[in-house]
Amino acid sequence: MPRIGSSLKERWGRDWMLFILSLILAFFIWLIHNLSLDYYSYLQFRVIVNSTIEGYEAQSVSQEPLVVHGKAPGLFFLKHGRWDGMPKDLELTLNPTAFHPTNDRDGLFYVRTTEIREALSELFGDELEIDFISNESLSFHFEKAICKKVEVILQNTISYAPQYMLVGEIELTPDSVMIYGKESDLANITSVRTSVVSKRMIDNSVNSFVNLEKIPGVRIDADRVQYSLTVQRYVEQTADVKVESINTPSNRNVIILPSTVKVTYRAPFKELGGKIQKSELGLVIDYETILGSNSGKIIPSLSQPDIDIFSYELDPPFVECILVEK
């Protein structure tokens, strides 16, 4: 008998556990079913808008709650409602043309709820079927913002394949942007940086876009800029080139020491040859440059500035010029 009683007690306990689990499962099925059904209800929002109204800060909060009546699944109302009855924050981005100034106060704008309704429809899509909006309009006060123009600095870690090089400078479009904010926030800002562009061993030109880094409390009138770099293959050559003076008066002579320097230059690689001839390379020093020098040490320049080379180095990097009477 004791064994039979113990067995019944164990079975009774298992049955109770199954019963409780069944009730919990049934409750969740009922809850999910009911939350998936559509209901009509009200929602209240405290609208936070982002915009780009010239001369004002980028963000403002509605001075009255937005009251929306519509049909949506129960889960939607559960997600976007608050149990304490307070409006829930809702962030929207509106075009500056949606804001209409009032005569009551500088920086006070109103937005018609027809435009708010369009923004809500884009945000919630088919989840919320709006019946009506209680407000006719919402008002927003934007603080005045000063602005200034700053340069854009490209942050990059770019390397080039062997015998390939950057020709010219990396170009940014635009190379400067307008920033808006409080005077105290803008005081020490002199530039806006891009995200880091990382490219390794490139052997062709690049034309792409890069995002600008955000600055807390500051609005930038662009999200990204275009950067372009020209990359070409080169061949490195050397030549001993004589340095000559130009525009020297007839009654003067210029003694140049040394009279010949070694030029190492990088020229475009040409598959069919086309090596720059030594006669095409020339180095000159203008007489007026010598007169303007206190030390007499001058860096020679190319006699043909438009010669087809990317860059060059001189050894030695400068020469000494001595003026003598004839």
> Is residue 63 classed as helix, strand or coil in its secondary structure?
coil
**pTM of the model as a whole:** 0.57
Distance separating alpha carbons of residues 305 and 267, to the nearest angstrom: 14
Structure tokens at 223: 């999200």
Ordered by where they begin, the domains of the chain are 36-141 (no CATH), 146-233 (2.170.120.40), 235-325 (2.170.120.30)
- Biggest CA–CA distance in the chain, Å, is 141
What residues are paired with 191 via a beta bridge? 151
For residue 286, the tally of other CB atoms under 10 A from its CB is 15
> Is residue 235 classed as helix, strand or coil in its secondary structure?
strand
Spatial CA neighbour of 318 closest among 288, 287, 283: 283
For residue 303, the tally of other CB atoms under 10 A from its CB is 15
Contact (Cβ atoms closer than 8 angstroms) between residue 308 and residue 274:
no
Distance separating alpha carbons of residues 219 and 223, to the nearest angstrom: 10
Q: How do the pLDDT tens digits run along the chain, 326 residues long?
A: 455 555 655 666 666 777 677 777 766 776 665 656 677 888 889 999 988 887 788 889 999 999 988 888 877 777 777 766 688 888 999 999 999 998 878 889 999 988 888 888 888 888 888 888 888 899 999 888 888 899 999 999 999 999 999 998 999 999 999 998 888 888 899 999 999 999 999 999 999 999 999 998 888 989 999 999 999 999 888 889 999 999 999 888 998 899 999 999 888 887 545 566 666 788 999 999 989 888 889 999 998 888 888 889 999 999 999 888 87
Structure tokens at 211: 């995002």
